[in-house]
Amino acid sequence: MQAIKKYLAECIGTFVLVFVACGTAAALGCSAEPNAAYFLTAAAFGLVIVAMAYSIGNVSGCHINPAVSIAMLVSGKLSIADFCGYVVAQFIGAIAGAGCLRALLGPDSSLGTNGLYNGEILPSLLIECVLTFIFVLAILGVTSKIENGAVAGIVIGLSLTLVHIFGIHFTGTSVNPARSFGPALFVGGDALANVWVFIVAPLVGGVLAALVYKLLASEKKA
């Protein structure tokens, strides 16, 4: 029963992330050019994380992102069974959130999908991998000490805002396979054809962050 509660919390959290944050990007017409919509979209992603961290964080840890979950798996903080349950729940939440957005905004909406930088795969993979690495490394650092619990949600939310401020110009910023897959599934076309980039790169970035943090933490203890 406890496992089901964790998975439900992850599903709800990811639903909110896609519905509110991707919805903000779609409703405001966020583009690669810095303007009010650009910064409001970055803020929306960060604020959703803050809100969810302090509402479901005590239930599931508020990963709401397969890249975070795989980092926790590599770090030994999540079992394989829970990892699978978390990821399935996250994708279900993302698809549900995107479906609700589709119903609300109509079939012509971009739903906040991601896109390749200049239509090229390798630069997009690199950008997403690096941004995910930065984001997940911040999560691992701030959650490594119990005394950081009161501010962890704020730090994580600000970190997500930071990578969005940089990354929206390039790819729209994914750093989250579920967040990218949900909208792409409904939009189709290039968004769905290229969504694998925004699944693979964040997962690689999450694994690298976990390995690097494990190395740094072990040296610190020594």
pLDDT of residue 194: 98
pLDDT of residue 71: 98
The whole-number mean pLDDT for each consecutive block of 10 residues of the chain, a chain of 222 residues, reads 95 98 96 92 98 96 98 97 98 98 96 97 98 98 90 96 97 98 98 98 98 86 48
CATH code assigned at 184? 1.20.1080.10
Q: Give the largest Cα separation in the chain, rounded.
A: 56
pLDDT of residue 222: 46
Domain span at 96: 2-221
Is residue 85 within 8 A of residue 61, CB to CB? The reply is no
Number of domains in the chain: 1
pLDDT by residue (tens digit) across 82-103?
Answer: 999 999 999 999 999 999 999 9
Partner residues linked to 200 by β-bridges: none
pLDDT of residue 54: 96
* Prediction pTM value: 0.95
pLDDT of residue 219: 61
pLDDT of residue 97: 98
pLDDT of residue 32: 85
- Token pair of 89 as six digits: 């729940």
Q: What is the mean pLDDT of the chain?
A: 96
pLDDT of residue 220: 54
